[in-house]
Amino acid sequence: MTGSAGADGRSPKILFHTDEGPPMPTVSVVTLAKGRPAHLRNVLLGLERQTQPPAEFIVAVMQDAPYDLPEVGFPVRQILVPGRELPLAAARNRGVAAATGDDVVFLDVDCIPAPGLVADYARALSELDGLLMGEVLHLPERATLGPWDYPGLDAAAERHSDRRGPPAAGIEICHDYRCFWSLNFAIRRATFLATGGFDERYTGYGGEDTDFGKLLDRQGIPIAWMKGARAYHQYHPHHMPPVHHLESVVRNAELFEAKWGYRTMGHWLYAFKVMGLIDDTPGRPIAILRRPGPEDLSLTGQQSHQPYTNSASVIRHMEALQAVPATVPGSEPAPVVA
């Protein structure tokens, strides 16, 4: 059952009934998008194949014009979120503000939902009032160059070596807020609103999700991994560590330090340091020594045959060249963001 937007522009609440028990919670899916129209269409195609359709799909558009998207069997709304740099924190907050569902699922624009993702999150959030992170598998470029199906995605996908896998079953609480990874997660809408949302002072890439995890930890809201709610991360050219976002990572690390008393994204900062890009001496502002050059981009770039890239391999390479001890100073690693 679907419905069109009401007079206020918001989608009407749609209840999904099962044969037994109360109605299933309604679920809004929110995606942040800038560019990557083919990726976004694959997200929409995955949502069309859900065992429990979403109540609505909200696209927080971080560009000047909305996308040209096909008609589907549930409401799709696009909201424009202005910002000179990637306004990721603001876009997530705007998405929740526009949502009508009991639960909100956040999917990055490059994440294709498995058929059970919406139903898995609805079921799990009825058991735990917290932030839940579903499974993520990574795809090489060839996996989505043409028409795709789920058996093909499963055959091509790999788990990220720097991320722990899901629990064998059910839900497992994470007792370290730094485990929060924002490309595929869900939370009850009321719980999100009660937190105050993401800190919109974070702009550009990096740090805003770790800050939100820290906020949840301070407020006693659990963060957990779960079995199921799988998403397939589509290939796109990327760098890890994210040297192409050097300025925003440095700026947001310093904002986190001003707010919480220590820096986040320590793994990335260390990688930048051994690459000769920054001086991050404690007790003084981080100094950018130079901008990334072609050799840095080549070293950190993801190739099309790779499902993912990671910072650890770059650090090992640089330490081998410089004979630096293989220890990473600093208070904490950065969350892996593909």
The 10 Å Cβ neighbour count of residue 253 is 26
Asked if residue 204 and residue 310 are part of one domain, the reply reads no
Asked if residue 307 and residue 249 are part of one domain, the reply reads yes
Asked if residue 290 and residue 198 are part of one domain, the reply reads no
Q: Is residue 262 a part of any domain in this protein?
A: yes
Q: What is the CATH number of the domain that holds 48?
A: 3.90.550.10
Block residue for tokens 């990671």: 310
Q: Is residue 60 a part of any domain in this protein?
A: yes
Asked if residue 53 and residue 91 are part of one domain, the reply reads yes
Q: Is residue 331 a part of any domain in this protein?
A: no
Block residue for tokens 């129209």: 37
Q: Is residue 13 a part of any domain in this protein?
A: no
Joined together, the tokens standing for residue 257 give: 């330090």
In 32-100, alpha helices (H) = 37-48, 88-98
Asked if residue 82 and residue 60 are part of one domain, the reply reads yes
Kindly provide the b/e burial profile for residues 28-56, where b requires at least 16 CB atoms within 10 angstroms of the residue's own CB: bbbbbbbebeebbebbbebbbebebbbbb
Give per-residue pLDDT as tens, 279-300. 999 999 999 999 999 998 888 8
Block residue for tokens 């800050």: 211
How much is the pLDDT for 17? 43
Domain final residue, candidates 209, 233, 257: 233
Whole-model pTM: value is 0.85
How much is the pLDDT for 319? 72
Asked if residue 160 and residue 256 are part of one domain, the reply reads no
How much is the pLDDT for 303? 59
Q: Is residue 44 a part of any domain in this protein?
A: yes
Q: HSE-up of 298 (CA within 13 Å, CB side)?
A: 3
Residue 203 is given by DSSP the state -
Number of domains forming the structure of the chain: 2
Asked if residue 182 and residue 115 are part of one domain, the reply reads yes
Q: Which runs of E-coded beta strand occur in the chain?
A: 27-33, 56-61, 76-80, 103-107, 111-113, 131-133, 136-138, 171-174, 184-188, 223-226, 231-233, 278-279, 287-288
Report, in angstroms and rounded to the nearest whole number, the Rg of the chain calculated over CA atoms: 20
Asked if residue 264 and residue 205 are part of one domain, the reply reads no
How much is the pLDDT for 298? 86
Name the residue type at position 200: E
Asked if residue 194 and residue 134 are part of one domain, the reply reads yes
Low-confidence stretches of the chain (pLDDT < 50) are 1-9, 11-18, 324, 326, 333-338
Q: Is residue 88 a part of any domain in this protein?
A: yes
Q: Is residue 238 a part of any domain in this protein?
A: no
Q: Which runs of E-coded beta strand occur in 34-116?
A: 56-61, 76-80, 103-107, 111-113
Q: Is residue 7 a part of any domain in this protein?
A: no
Domain that holds residue 289: 243-322
The 10 Å Cβ neighbour count of residue 331 is 13
Asked if residue 203 and residue 281 are part of one domain, the reply reads no
Asked if residue 252 and residue 202 are part of one domain, the reply reads no
Asked if residue 250 and residue 196 are part of one domain, the reply reads no
